[in-house]
Amino acid sequence: CIGITGETEYADLFKEEIDLKLHNMVISKEDFQREIKVRISLLIRELDDINDISSNIIRSMIVRGKYIDDKELLDQLNYEEFLKVMEKLKFDNKAFNLLLPKQKKN
């Protein structure tokens, strides 16, 4: 599930640009590796806060039914498998919500 938000006066153009980007998305090996490094650095930063650590453990127990170290998961990712998954993604099933400001009463 992907959520994208924006504030614009050109909602139709915004929607078209998002569709175009999703259908023509290219992620380089360097970008993929950079994102993994960012995720690992965020995990390391969380080690400073006992509440973050306990939240991660509880979230893992709820979502996965057991504790799995996120660092181990990140270490197992590889670019070739990622590309295979990306090929299978379809962005045709989507919802578009437009929120308009409340009109002032006279």
3-state helix, strand, coil in the chain (%, to 5): 60, 0, 40
- pTM: predicted TM-score of the whole model, two decimal places: 0.65
Residues 68-89 pLDDT 10s: 888 888 999 999 999 998 888 8
Confidence at residue 40, expressed as pLDDT on a 0 to 100 scale? 92
Which pLDDT score, from 0 to 100, does residue 90 have?
A: 81
What pLDDT does residue 79 have?
A: 96
Burial letters for 60-74: b for 16+ Cβ neighbours within 10 Å, e otherwise?
Answer: beeeeeeeeeeeeee
Tell me the CA distances in angstroms from 26 to 19, 21, 84, 95, one per residue in order.
14, 9, 13, 23
**What pLDDT sits at residue 98?**
82
pLDDT below 70 — which residues of the chain?
A: 106
